Structure formats: structure tokens, C-alpha cells
């Protein structure tokens, strides 16, 4: 029998490379996915009118999440030159070349196609079309073309409003007045949200030559304009109440938050620390998305002609 040489190094089993996994996961921008799923869930429950199909909800949210993750991954690949110039993004995996670019593109397209297939299998063509258009606008029009122009924020807001509209249509199986208003709400919400982020990272955007509003017009001009954008968003959000799609609790919550958001950004516009002002505004915008999703999910108006009883899942919330 041969003796074992105890001086020979035997490598241990190589553990799962958690660093590489985190790098690939970061390409999908999980924070953006989560934010969009919150708004999509609100749109789905509004479209369900109290009778949600939870299997359809799960499939819709999973499909949307995959498409968004794919779009964000492709955006990371397209924007790697910009990311290298910006302080907050210069350590991203593709900038540091910790992940091959081809891997990012393969991952992005795989996630997007898988998500669209899931939506095609479980939802209707309308939801698939809206999600696909949102993906094309974000990756094609925004990332490849107009992000580096002054129209980038507006174009990006169109793609960002697609998930709640797609989820609404998946639940309601139609595109009606409420769906159009919902889309407009999230287009307008993204403008003050994006401008506050641009104020927070103005130096980065200027270094990368991205002509966002604070870079083009200045921070002071942006601060003065913000209440106008917030006011337009709030008025649009209240249209769901005035068109009899939501109730009084929704109206009161959105009106209060919208007015308070305007009050704070106007009151503190002369604050010396613009980054602190921007963080306050971003905090309000996130709170507003949560409030929108919660209140439209619970305080809705039931349809004039309800679904036949045999087609209704168990009702989740009663109308307030």
C-alpha cells in the first residue's frame, strides 16, 4: 500500500463563485425590476377590479420582470462607455471587464425572449405587444439613440410606463380609458423622479455629456420647474377618480401626497445642499409609487357589467 505524502497540497472543492453571480445579477438592475413590479402589480389589481387571477398575476409579473431584466442587461452593454466616465457606475462589471460583453448580450436577449414567451403563453396579445414595445423603446430608441440627447428623459419615461399598462391589460384584457390614464400617470411620474436623480448626480451626467435638464438648464431652473411637473402628474393621477375608476381613499391619498411633494420641493428650493433637496424629492416619488399601487389595488370601482359568477376568482377586496 502506498503511503500518502502529507506535504502534497490537495486543493479544496471550489465553492460557487458568488462574486460572479452577483456581477451577472447586477446587470439586470434588480432595484429597477422591483420598482417596476410594484407599479405593475397596482396596474394588474386595478384591471382585475377585485377579482384577481393569481396564477395570471404571477405569470404576468414574472414575464415583465424577465423582460425588464433583459432590457437592463442590454442597456449595461450599450452604456459601458458612459458608465466608465461616471463616478457611480465606473465599477460596474462590464466597465471593469469582469464579465465578457458577449455574455451580457446573450443574457439580455435570453431573459427578454423568455419573458415575452411567458407572457405570450399566459396572457393575451395586447400585454405582449405593450411589453415588447416598451422593450424596443428602451433598448433601441432610448439606449442606442436618444439617451444622449435632451429628449432622453421623455423617451425613457415611455418605456418605464409600459409595465403597469401591460399588467393592466393582462388583467382586464382590454385597453380602455383607465389604461390610457394609467400609462400617462407613469409617464409623468418619471419626469420629476428622473430630474431629481439628475440633480443628485449632475456632475456625473455632465462628465459623460448627457444633456439632462439640470445640465442643460441648471439646477436652479430645474428646482423651479419641479412643482409644475409634480402638479401635472398629480392632476393626471386624480383622473382615475374623476373617471370613476377609483374611490375617495385613492383621491385623498394621492392629492395629499402630491400637494405635500410640491410643497417640499418648492419650500426647500433655495437650500444650499442641492443633493439633499434631490434626495427628499426622490423619497416622495418612491412613496407616491407605493401609494398609487396600494390605493388603486384596494379602492377601485367595480365594472358596470361584472364578469359572470363562474368566471370570477375569489374577490380580494371590497369596494370602499
For residue range 103-139, what is the model confidence (pLDDT) as tens digits? Answer: 999 999 999 999 999 999 999 999 999 999 999 999 9
Q: What is the pTM of this model?
A: 0.88
Q: What is the DSSP string of 35-52?
A: HHHHHHHHHHHHHHTT--
- Name the percent of the chain lying above pLDDT 70: 88
CA distances from 307 to 52, 71, 265, 297, 313 (A): 12, 36, 44, 18, 10
How many angstroms from the chain centroid is the CA of residue 3? 63
Has residue 21 been placed in a domain?
no
Has residue 11 been placed in a domain?
no
Torsion of Cα atoms, 304 then 309 then 314 then 320, to 10°: 30
CATH number at residue 277: 1.20.120
Containing domain of residue 193, as a range?
176-303
The model's pLDDT over 2-24, given as tens digits with 9 standing for 90+, comes to 444 444 444 444 444 666 889 99
CA distances from 282 to 94, 298, 315 (A): 27, 25, 34
C-alpha cell of residue 145: 439613440
Has residue 22 been placed in a domain?
no
The model's pLDDT over 289-307, given as tens digits with 9 standing for 90+, comes to 999 999 999 998 765 444 4
Contact 44, 119 (CB under 8 A): no
The count of C-alpha atoms lying within 13 angstroms of the C-alpha of 288, restricted to the half-sphere facing its C-beta, is 29
Q: Count of domains in the chain? A: 2
The model's pLDDT over 197-249, given as tens digits with 9 standing for 90+, comes to 999 999 999 999 999 999 999 999 999 999 999 999 999 999 999 999 999 99
* 154 and 215 in a common domain: no
Has residue 320 been placed in a domain?
no
Amino acid at each position: 500500500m502506498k503511503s500518502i505524502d502529507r506535504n502534497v497540497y490537495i486543493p479544496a472543492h471550489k465553492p460557487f463563485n458568488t462574486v460572479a453571480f452577483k456581477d451577472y445579477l447586477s446587470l439586470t438592475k434588480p432595484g429597477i425590476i422591483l420598482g417596476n413590479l410594484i407599479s405593475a402589480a397596482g396596474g394588474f389589481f386595478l384591471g382585475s377590479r377585485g377579482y384577481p387571477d393569481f396564477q395570471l398575476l404571477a405569470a404576468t409579473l414574472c414575464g415583465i420582470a424577465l423582460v425588464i431584466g433583459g432590457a437592463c442587461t442590454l442597456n449595461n452593454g450599450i452604456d459601458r462607455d458612459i458608465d466608465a466616465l461616471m463616478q457611480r457606475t465606473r465599477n460596474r462589471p462590464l466597465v471593469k471587464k469582469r464579465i465578457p460583453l458577449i455574455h451580457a448580450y446573450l443574457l439580455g436577449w435570453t431573459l427578454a425572449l423568455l419573458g415575452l414567451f411567458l407572457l405570450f403563453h399566459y396572457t393575451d396579445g395586447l400585454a405582449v405587444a405593450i411589453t415588447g414595445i416598451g422593450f424596443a423603446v428602451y433598448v433601441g430608441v432610448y439606449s442606442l439613440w436618444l439617451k444622449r440627447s435632451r429628449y432622453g428623459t421623455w423617451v425613457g419615461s415611455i418605456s418605464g410606463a409600459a409595465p403597469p399598462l401591460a399588467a393592466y391589460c393582462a388583467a382586464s384584457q382590454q385597453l380602455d380609458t383607465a389604461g390610457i390614464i394609467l400609462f400617462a400617470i407613469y409617464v409623468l411620474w418619471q419626469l420629476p423622479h428622473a430630474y431629481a436623480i439628475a440633480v443628485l448626480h449632475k456632475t456625473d451626467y455632465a462628465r459623460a455629456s448627457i444633456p439632462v435638464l439640470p445640465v442643460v438648464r441648471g439646477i436652479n431652473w430645474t428646482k423651479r420647474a419641479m412643482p409644475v411637473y409634480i402638479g401635472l402628474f398629480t392632476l393626471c393621477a386624480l383622473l382615475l377618480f374623476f373617471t370613476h375608476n377609483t374611490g375617495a381613499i385613492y383621491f385623498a391619498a394621492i392629492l395629499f401626497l402630491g400637494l405635500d411633494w410640491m410643497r417640499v420641493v418648492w419650500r426647500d428650493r433655495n437650500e444650499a445642499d442641492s443633493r439633499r433637496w434631490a434626495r427628499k424629492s426622490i423619497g416622495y416619488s418612491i412613496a407616491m409609487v407605493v401609494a398609487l399601487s396600494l390605493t388603486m389595488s384596494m379602492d377601485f370601482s367595480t365594472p358596470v357589467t361584472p364578469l359572470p359568477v363562474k368566471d370570477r376568482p375569489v374577490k380580494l377586496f371590497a369596494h370602499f
